[in-house]
Structure 1
């Protein structure tokens, strides 16, 4: 008997035939088709086998269930959609030979239809909003598709049009019609990456129709060619309507809109790939009742205007800022893109807080989390001051339950306040390694145990002092304390921490401390690494490098990093640290001869100015954040597209050349950024707490490496080479000051890298062919550089596509591919992560904050993990981010077609998790589903 959704009966679903005719859905025809394929493989006798009949019945039920999840009385199925699902089901069930026979059957019939079917295009009608039918405007459809393919190689407008027409039916709605060509083009991305641009441009046509129609109050369409003239007129109306809707700041209407509209470059709309355009459409463009009325170039200009509000020549600066971001040379962080120029301009990315050790302080901290998260801020909480389990409570003469119950409340608050409904709330809790509750803290992300003491949605990180690593290396003991009895350990770091810590250990031995516990340092370290692998948390971050190299050590202490481990700013009960982020697209600044120095300098100078402006125009949700940001004015300039730049230079990620390039490129960015902040100080004044900072003493980030070395007593091995004129810059900084206490931080850039179409941040290539999942859906991603090279060598064909799917986007096992390409296009899990650490160490010497550094292991072991994280410490890194084990999802072996974005017609191409690889403890084998470190995890987008 058929099994189907109780809400939808199969008889209520219709099927669109290839000729546009509509007929009822019949699962019996699926069974017949499968039986024919089976007989072709196993012979006619198989049809009499009860086993075969039972298998076909079960598979038919699976196909029907999958189809009916996406169908209904108003959502007909297409015959090709049904056949795709049959093929997918056979492959997933392991019947590859039958599936192959079925595919061959489809291809033969497709060829026969092509030979016998008249070439005249079918005629379709479109059902209007009032129910009337109007003829399909095939001329305009063909024009839009032709425009979308213009200037692109290896794409065919005729093929996209034919595929679009194949998916139409009589009575199609305008909304469905606008999506149909997008769906058609996106199925071809795996054949050539340029179809991603075609898909993006077709989606842009849908967005144009929405925006122009909304502003005009009637249906209005325009081709891309027409937008060159229409953009300026549209832009002024867009600003006016946005102000009317109380979504845009009224100040924007006071700009010279004619001048700004004339500066819009319509052709920059053509830069988007499908993932970028879909992300922009779904999550960034302003809308009213789900109708987008903001187009991409208006979006970039709106952001630029929002950042130029306090400039003297607002129009000139807005155009300068617009040119920078619309060209993809630089991109602001997501909160800035969301909110610049709006009535609630919360533009900052990251907030760091310290939680007090009493109920008022704890719940004030949780309340601050909610207020900061509401407007898209990522949070890092320092929980170390909260007393541990068993500590004395003076007010009640009772004993504390420790920090974990309050972390549970903070976790649930992050879930409840989901960043204004635009993305999940995101928070990371930090705890120092000497805290008495640290062992319970390590278990917070486990899927077993008392759920009241678990935080399944909160990120966690260990804040590790150098003294602990010294004890690990010496196989010594480690003492855990409750912070109410050792209050000055929280603020101490470096050699001072080691001295105070030893004094408290002696006090504990004398019986002067009530709550403490001794463990072997190696055992605790081993457990930290075990939980990091099994659950993805807590991350490993290093307290002493963050403080000893901080330019602001004269005015406080860095007690934690942020959500993504790249921000290292001071926090107190009264000051919430704030950082304002943006990233240089390094790939845009590479020529055949290397770095384009002039272009990079121009980009960095303008970017630093934009980030500094964020501080003044920002909407602050809590006074502690405003106080801190105005006093210290930190910004975090980062980079993305590092892997793309290596491709352009033909440098494999795992090579000395890539490490050297990481050094030289970051040196330039650091030099230009510090210089830009100094020039802003000359123009606008130095930040308030500049006197006494390392900057004021002429100690730049490269110089602060020595301070760390002095405290490490030999446990530091860092290359200190340089190539630029740092002496002149030191003198300039001392003379005029710095506008910003901190200038650089490398954030993950997950979303803005999608928008600009490059690899995120400093990440290695994930896979050469895979499906990327984020809040906008699932997207086929193909490495365009690899495809171009394979085409040049005559190696790009259906067999190569099949091989890439089979080997999960890896080239290593594909014999036809030359060793040179295998090295250049090696994927993240094929690299030894030591190369990533070496490159990160070269960058870290130039950065006054930190970098979001993910590490990858295809086959983790305790020895490898220990070696890797001790190397990170020895190389002077301040923080690490996710440990990414081999992904639990793989590319579906049959087809990627029909799997992209929210336009999905059939099941996504992700398969069930595989068993976890061998880990550092036996429990790891049970933790496959707990590996919360997928490269496509949308939670990683909170900073950028």
Structure 2
């Protein structure tokens, strides 16, 4: 949504000089359109009106209002009133200036008896108007002579070379052996008249990326150019700004944090408790300079896998991401704002980094923060499938899994309940393997499962061959990691070129819990029993 109905109007990269007759005639029958301050015409939608009114309430009533059902209901009602006003005025469709929409928001707030909120909204509009006037005076558009940018509504605007130069210069700040002019010249070679804005950003990133082999510092440059795209996507979705330079983020991060928390709670992606933090204090603690620390691969990985998104739009920026994790870790602390700031400083400075599940889940509705979960699978069908179910649920929220399968009886063991014989551990491991593939850590990365088996288990030979590329595919697990627990006694037998006996745990159930000397004595006792027919029914002797 491009309509500027929020309480911010940062400078666009390619502002229009006016509304053309073509823009106005493009209005479809029955469709409302909005004339933005830069002259472009876009379809009317009311989501940014909702954001603007919500922010006005938050400014007056504090961050805790984000979780208030009264505020949500009031905002929805007022938004509907504003939209209904324009539909009554223009039942056949038409164009509305952005200022008219904001006038109606003020009027709706006053009629609803929300005088304090309306007053704050008026003051905020006035402040933003002064800022826009200052920006216009300081930074006139430096248009490229032959390249125009195609806008979302099909119109064109000149490529602002001044802002392009600012973005590239910022990306090269403080870095040795990098050339801003080279990046700009090579980027312009890849642009053409009518290019989309997103393709301009892509061209910048790809140009810098090709130079990394020449000089490693270009990896930092590439990351900083990518940040420009991330800022436009995140801030635009939050209704804070349409775009921003790195230096403008010194103020915008503090404004974006409460808007981010409100959106995250609204979309049921964040824990409502986050709205109870002192977001103003936390916003002031955010250090925008730490955005400059990323290499390209690091930032791209965060964007692809870690940032919270809605319908594919990432509205979490790097420093907000670290603050969200810090807030999630500090929820149960006494002085939680102070602790959150401590956690934030550790994470954002890269002095310490939490594990992936913590980064994924801290501050969300399902804060599963641990990395690894170790379980022992019991020797009964119900217990086995309960363990597989636990695997699926833990993997869903990014947990890595380790399953001890040693207690499960071996291939050929007697099953009293059915008077049949067991198929052993391997068929169940095939199910575990496929579960890890299906429940791939919430769609963010591959599932990670490791199966453990002791060396004396009858199925150990098949277990070792699980990832071979030949043999029966039903007894192969290409995605499953496996681990063989080896007792000291086995290594002694290897050194002595001795024999080794394999057992089914259903006949030697106590071996699994023994270690050291106790294990050796009990293992040798069972070996001795194999000399007596019928004492141990299922065993196999091989060279260690």
Specify if TM > 0.5: yes
The equivalent of 2:520 in structure 1 is: 498
Alignment of 1:581-660 (within 5 A): none
Q: Deviations over 1:342-366 (max 9, x none)?
A: 1111111101111111111111111
Preserved CA contact (<8 Å) 2:167 2:228 = yes
Higher Rg: 2
State which of 225, 229, 235 in structure 1 corresponds to 2:257. 235
The equivalent of 1:177 in structure 2 is: 200
Q: Does 1:463 align with 2:474?
A: no
Partner SS for 1:136: strand
The equivalent of 2:436 in structure 1 is: 414
Preserved CA contact (<8 Å) 2:144 2:160 = no
The equivalent of 1:210 in structure 2 is: 233
Alignment of 1:501-540 (within 5 A): 501-511=523-533, 512-521=535-544
Partner SS for 1:412: helix
State which of 326, 329, 352 in structure 2 corresponds to 1:330. 352
Preserved CA contact (<8 Å) 2:144 2:161 = no
The equivalent of 1:66 in structure 2 is: none
Partner SS for 1:331: coil
State which of 118, 141, 166 in structure 2 corresponds to 1:143. 166
CA distance in 1, matches of 2:333, 2:279: 16
CA distance in 1, matches of 2:193, 2:528: 85
CA distance in 1, matches of 2:144, 2:230: 27
CA distance in 2, matches of 1:319, 1:510: 69
CA distance in 2, matches of 1:186, 1:122: 27
The equivalent of 1:284 in structure 2 is: 306
State which of 318, 321, 337 in structure 2 corresponds to 1:315. 337
Q: Does 1:301 align with 2:323?
A: yes
State which of 353, 356, 373 in structure 1 corresponds to 2:395. 373
The equivalent of 2:243 in structure 1 is: 221
Q: Deviations over 1:830-883 (max 9, x none)?
A: xxxxxxxxxxxxxxxxxxxxxxxxxxxxxxxxxxxxxxxxxxxxxxxxxxxxxx
Partner SS for 2:229: helix
The offset of 1:233, in angstroms, is: 1.1
CA distance in 2, matches of 1:234, 1:176: 25
The offset of 1:170, in angstroms, is: 2.0
CA distance in 1, matches of 2:381, 2:461: 23
The equivalent of 1:760 in structure 2 is: none
Q: Does 1:474 align with 2:496?
A: yes
CA distance in 2, matches of 1:411, 1:142: 52
The equivalent of 1:578 in structure 2 is: none
The equivalent of 1:354 in structure 2 is: 376
The equivalent of 1:134 in structure 2 is: 157
The offset of 1:400, in angstroms, is: 1.0
CA distance in 1, matches of 2:531, 2:199: 75
Partner SS for 1:125: strand
Q: Does 1:256 align with 2:271?
A: no
CA distance in 1, matches of 2:249, 2:391: 43
Q: Does 1:395 align with 2:417?
A: yes
CA distance in 2, matches of 1:212, 1:398: 64
CA distance in 2, matches of 1:347, 1:180: 38
Alignment of 1:504-903 (within 5 A): 504-511=526-533, 512-521=535-544
Q: Deviations over 1:730-755 (max 9, x none)?
A: xxxxxxxxxxxxxxxxxxxxxxxxxx
State which of 184, 191, 194 in structure 1 corresponds to 2:217. 194
Partner SS for 1:380: strand
Partner SS for 1:352: strand
The offset of 1:121, in angstroms, is: 6.8
Q: Deviations over 1:55-89 (max 9, x none)?
A: xxxxxxxxxxxxxxxxxxxxxxxxxxxxxxxxxxx
Residues matched between the structures, number: 401
The offset of 1:122, in angstroms, is: 6.2
The offset of 1:257, in angstroms, is: 0.5
Q: Does 1:271 align with 2:308?
A: no
Preserved CA contact (<8 Å) 2:144 2:159 = no
Preserved CA contact (<8 Å) 2:148 2:158 = yes
The equivalent of 2:366 in structure 1 is: 344
The offset of 1:369, in angstroms, is: 0.7
CA distance in 1, matches of 2:145, 2:203: 15
CA distance in 1, matches of 2:311, 2:158: 28
The equivalent of 1:78 in structure 2 is: none
The equivalent of 1:913 in structure 2 is: none
The equivalent of 1:858 in structure 2 is: none
CA distance in 1, matches of 2:146, 2:225: 21
The equivalent of 2:447 in structure 1 is: 425
CA RMSD of aligned residues (A): 1.3
Q: Does 1:152 align with 2:175?
A: yes
Preserved CA contact (<8 Å) 2:187 2:204 = yes
The equivalent of 2:385 in structure 1 is: 363
Q: Does 1:451 align with 2:473?
A: yes
The offset of 1:136, in angstroms, is: 1.2
Partner SS for 1:294: coil
Preserved CA contact (<8 Å) 2:326 2:344 = yes
Unpaired segments ≥5 residues, structure 2: 1-142
The offset of 1:123, in angstroms, is: 2.4
The offset of 1:398, in angstroms, is: 1.2
CA distance in 1, matches of 2:415, 2:145: 80
Between 1 and 2, higher relative CO (CA 8 Å, sep ≥ 6) is seen in 1
Partner SS for 1:429: strand
CA distance in 1, matches of 2:264, 2:144: 42
Partner SS for 1:369: helix
CA distance in 2, matches of 1:247, 1:174: 29
The offset of 1:311, in angstroms, is: 0.7
